[in-house]
Amino acid sequence: MHIKKFLFIYLLILVFGLLGLSYNSLHFITRSNTATAKVINHKEGKAKILYKLGSHYNVQTFHPVFSYFVEGKNHEYMAEYSCENGCHKLNSTVTVFYLKEKPETVLISTFEGLWKYQVYFIIFMAVLFFSALPYLFYKINKQPEF
């Protein structure tokens, strides 16, 4: 009985958590059009401190800057996420979702732009699941004492 309750509650949290994290992106995508954007530049972001074997060093990060055309007009968008090497190669292309009435409002069709927090949530839920299993199996197999 414990396993059925646990699985029901676990799956409920998993489904509603993923829907909650995905709602804004899915709602935006359903109202938007698509365009192909080209990476034209990398703009400097914040320096990150990395720790390795008892020492630390600074690493400069870069935000990718995308250029895309909507109805013959050029638009540029700098991504909110940044990486050590800019995340995308120069002149590479990605798909962007934009609102027709506000083409400067963009959602980038990449892992960082769409799925990062959902994957973190799934990893958290997997850790929760596998850490709770031994307790549940202990409760099931526990023999009553006389």
Residue 132 falls inside a structural domain: no
- Closest Cα partner for 6 from 102, 94, 144, 128? 128
Instruction: State the residue for tokens 């009553």.
Output: 144
Domain count, the chain: 1
pTM for this predicted structure: 0.68
DSSP element (H, E) containing 1: none
pLDDT at 11 over 80: yes
Q: Which domain holds residue 52?
A: 33-109
pLDDT tier at 144, thresholds 50, 70, 90 = low
For residue 14, the model assigns a pLDDT of 92
Q: Report if residue 143 sits inside a domain.
A: no
58 phi, psi to nearest 5 deg? -90, 140
The model's pLDDT over 53-101, given as tens digits with 9 standing for 90+, comes to: 777 778 888 888 999 999 889 999 988 888 877 678 888 898 889 988 8
The CATH number that applies at residue 61 is 2.40.50
Residue 133 domain-assigned (yes or no): no
Structure tokens at 9: 């509650």
Dump pLDDT digits (tens) for 12-67. 999 999 999 888 888 888 888 989 999 998 888 887 777 777 777 788 888 889 99
Q: Residue 58 domain-assigned? A: yes
In a domain, 120, yes or no: no
Lowest mean pLDDT among 6-10, 19-23, 136-140: 136-140
Cβ atoms 19, 118 nearer than 8 A: no
In-domain check, residue 1: no
**Is 73 a domain residue?**
yes
Mean pLDDT rounded to a whole number for the chain = 84
Q: Is residue 14 part of a domain?
A: no
